């Protein structure tokens, strides 16, 4: 939910900032409209992180192509693969913008290391595949999630308010990957055997 604060110069000196009454949806800007103004129409635009980054293991997904052992002997087979993990956020907006740069500068100042926009992992994984089996590789990157709120100050009222708050959650690859690579074998299905072993 976007929050807003209204104030006037005279009222500020006398009573401080006043919380604006609820506005209808038609009277509110979208999160995109607000963040597009960040350092591009605002007096100030600051991201306030909440707590430490949350680290988690992303769901493992199959990478590369399956390998099939159509022989009568066990085989060590290589699966070459590459996977790129990119940043995302709860608002579905591109971070290659002014507000994205504000986030990255604040992240480094708050946590002491650079924010990773993306990470590409490439390797060849060897699998021991028994006769009649298929081998597959699954990759799960280590991720980090940061929650916080943008605070935007306008010189002139924007949608009838001087100050707006936009909460956002940003997710991206962790600095220390520690990702998981898992291999798995299972009997080929009849369709796989027909398609790959003739």
β-strand partners of 171: 88, 145
Quick one: pLDDT band at residue 175, thresholds 50, 70, 90?
confident
What's the whole-number mean pLDDT along residues 132-140? 97
Q: Judge contact between 31 and 192, C-beta under 8 A.
A: no
**For range 159-174, the mean pLDDT:** 96
pLDDT at 11 over 50: no
Q: Are 151 and 165 in contact (CB under 8 A)?
A: yes
Distance of CA 108 to the CA centre of its chain: 16
Alpha carbon of 120 to those of 38, 107, 146, 181: distances in Å? 30, 21, 21, 14
Give which of 98, 96, 109 is closest to 172, Cα–Cα. Answer: 96
Token look-up 């192509």 returns 65
Closest CA to 154 of 145, 146, 163: 163
pLDDT tens digits, 12-45 = 333 333 344 455 555 899 999 999 999 999 999 9
- For residue 24, the Cα-to-chain-centroid distance in whole angstroms is 30
Task: Give pLDDT tens digits for 108-117.
Answer: 999 999 999 9
Alpha-carbon distance of 198 to 193, in angstroms, equals 7
């Amino acid at each position: 939910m976007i929050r807003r604060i209204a104030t006037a110069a005279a009222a500020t000196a006398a009573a401080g900032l006043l919380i604006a009454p609820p506005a209808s949806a038609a009277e509110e800007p979208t999160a995109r409209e607000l963040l597009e103004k960040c350092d591009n129409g605002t007096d100030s635009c600051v991201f306030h992180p909440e707590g430490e980054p949350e680290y988690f293991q992303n769901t493992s997904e199959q990478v590369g192509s399956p390998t099939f052992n159509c022989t009568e002997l066990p085989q060590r087979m290589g699966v070459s693969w590459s996977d790129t993990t990119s940043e995302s956020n709860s608002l579905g907006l591109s971070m290659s913008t002014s507000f994205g740069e504000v986030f990255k500068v604040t992240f480094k100042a708050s946590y002491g290391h650079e924010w990773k926009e993306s990470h590409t992992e490439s390797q060849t994984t060897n699998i021991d595949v028994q006769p009649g089996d298929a081998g597959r590789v699954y990759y799960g990157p280590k991720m980090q999630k940061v929650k916080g709120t943008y605070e935007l100050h306008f010189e002139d009222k924007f949608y009838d308010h001087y100050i707006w708050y936009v909460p956002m959650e940003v997710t991206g690859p962790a600095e220390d990957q520690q990702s998981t690579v898992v291999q798995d074998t299972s009997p080929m299905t009849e369709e796989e055997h027909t398609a790959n072993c003739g």
